Chain A
Amino acid sequence: MTMSPTTKPPAESLTLTIDGKDVSCRSGQTILDVARENDIDIPTLCQLDGLTTWGGCRLCLVEIAGSSKLFASCATQCTEGMNITTQSDRLLNYRRMILEMLFSERNHICAVCVSNGHCELQSMAQKLGVTHIHLPYRYPKLTVDSSQDRFRLDHNRCILCSRCVRVCGEIEGAHTKDLKGRGIKTFVINDLDQPWADAKSCTTCGKCVHVCPVGALTERGTAVSEMAKRRAFLPYLTSMREH
């Protein structure tokens, strides 16, 4: 049996404006994709090329002329004639507020973290000019799962971006990781909320560790500032599957 050729509708060409710059794209592209193609920087945390869109961190919010709402640029497709603003005082204010809420929600102590100097939350705070946290810190008592031989899950440092959940399900195909609970009580779990070592579906591939933007998932045996993540595998694997 011969495979029928893939019938994609021909991509429509669109023109739109981002930060006053006229740009063109194909229909189906997200605002974030098109902005990056045109060297317009939109900050993100949960987004990672090669994984499906999550739209959870809300850092990539942009303004679209004609609407008072803000739109997650990673999850909003471009339409003809859109007029998009990616940088404004209002957006910067919200982005800083999001980071401050992340810092105050759990226990992020950069100075003693294995990811110090390699952390996307930390560098994003610096990039967006966050000098201190206006909200009171919550200091929740959270657990650290060190049951696994090679890796460690520290809930104190997790920002719930779900990159680990997505890479485990979508790329490794194991789906060991998932999220339980809602809102501030959301946690990353292994299998049926078991200690990591008891999670039979885990292949110990370590992809979750290396896509984690912070120090929540780390290799064991690393000391302060030693946990540099290696992500070269992800575009490579994605590219192999597409071609």
Chain B
Amino acid sequence: MTQSTTTTRSDPALRGGITPAKPRVATVWLDGCSGCHMSFLDLDERLFILAEKVDIVCSPVVDPKEFPPDVDLCLVEGAVSSHHDLEKAKLIRARSKVVAALGDCAVTGNVPAMRNFWEVEELFRRAYIENAEYPDTPEKRKANLPVLNVPPHERIARPLHEIIKVDLFIPGCPPPADAIFYVLTEFLAGRSPNITQVTRFGK
């Protein structure tokens, strides 16, 4: 990775300051358990150091709901599982200079990919009907799969790099906070992190 952190973006004055704009960092949560974001929060007091150096422009822990343009680094948690994930992944790629797969689900498919042995309908039937907690009645057996609030799913859950180009891989389930901080520090310094020094699959 040769990404410079001092890349000129749109006029900093437009952002309301005379100081150079900070790198814009986003984090996204696709098909994962949010554990990687918990690990991100485990940066603890280092979050203050980070907040001085970057703007977190989009994340489950900040307000914006739409993925913004001109993102310098996007950390993506989770596998690509639903149509929504697929569209989001493409949007992230189009709007981010550097995309990092954060954690084993984004890197390998991991636990969300354990559904890949079954057809989506079999899976949904199991999750929403067979395992639903109401008595086994004729009504239950005739019950339909949910159509609201569950986005259509891809046949298999896939790692992020099978969908879009990924520049950085941070394995781990979840990656330790130290590993996340190391990657961010290296990114901000314009260096390529040697990621297997600090984490591995299943860490």
Which among B110, B159, B162, B195 is the interface contact of A111 at CB below 8 angstroms? Answer: B110
CA distance in complex: A131, B159 (Å): 12
The residue in chain B whose Cβ has the minimal distance to the Cβ of A130 is B196
The residue in chain B whose Cβ has the minimal distance to the Cβ of A107 is B114
CA distance in complex: A125, B114 (Å): 21
Q: How many residues of B contact A (CB 8 A)?
A: 25
CA distance in complex: A236, B5 (Å): 56
B5 → chain A, closest Cβ, in Å? 22
A:98-141 near B, CB below 8 Å = 103, 107-113, 116-117, 119, 122-123, 125-127, 129-133, 136-137, 139, 141
The residue in chain B whose Cβ has the minimal distance to the Cβ of A141 is B117
- Please determine whether A122 and B117 come into contact, CB atoms closer than 8 angstroms: no
CA distance in complex: A6, B147 (Å): 79
The residue in chain A whose Cβ has the minimal distance to the Cβ of B103 is A111
- Please determine whether A131 and B195 come into contact, CB atoms closer than 8 angstroms: yes
The residue in chain B whose Cβ has the minimal distance to the Cβ of A111 is B173
A-contact 0/1 string along B176-203, CB 8 Å cutoff:
0000000000000000001110001110
Set of chain B residues within 8 Å of A137, measured between Cβ atoms = 108-109, 113, 116, 159
- Please determine whether B111 and A109 come into contact, CB atoms closer than 8 angstroms: yes
Contacts A122-B201, A125-B201; is A109 near B114 (CB within 8 Å)?
A: yes
- Interface residues of chain B, those whose CB is within 8 Å of chain A, are 101, 104, 107-111, 113-114, 116-117, 156, 159, 161-162, 166, 169, 171, 173, 194-196, 200-202
Beyond A133-B159, A139-B117, 6 additional pairs, beta carbon < 8 A: A108-B201, A111-B202, A125-B200, A130-B196, A131-B171, A136-B162
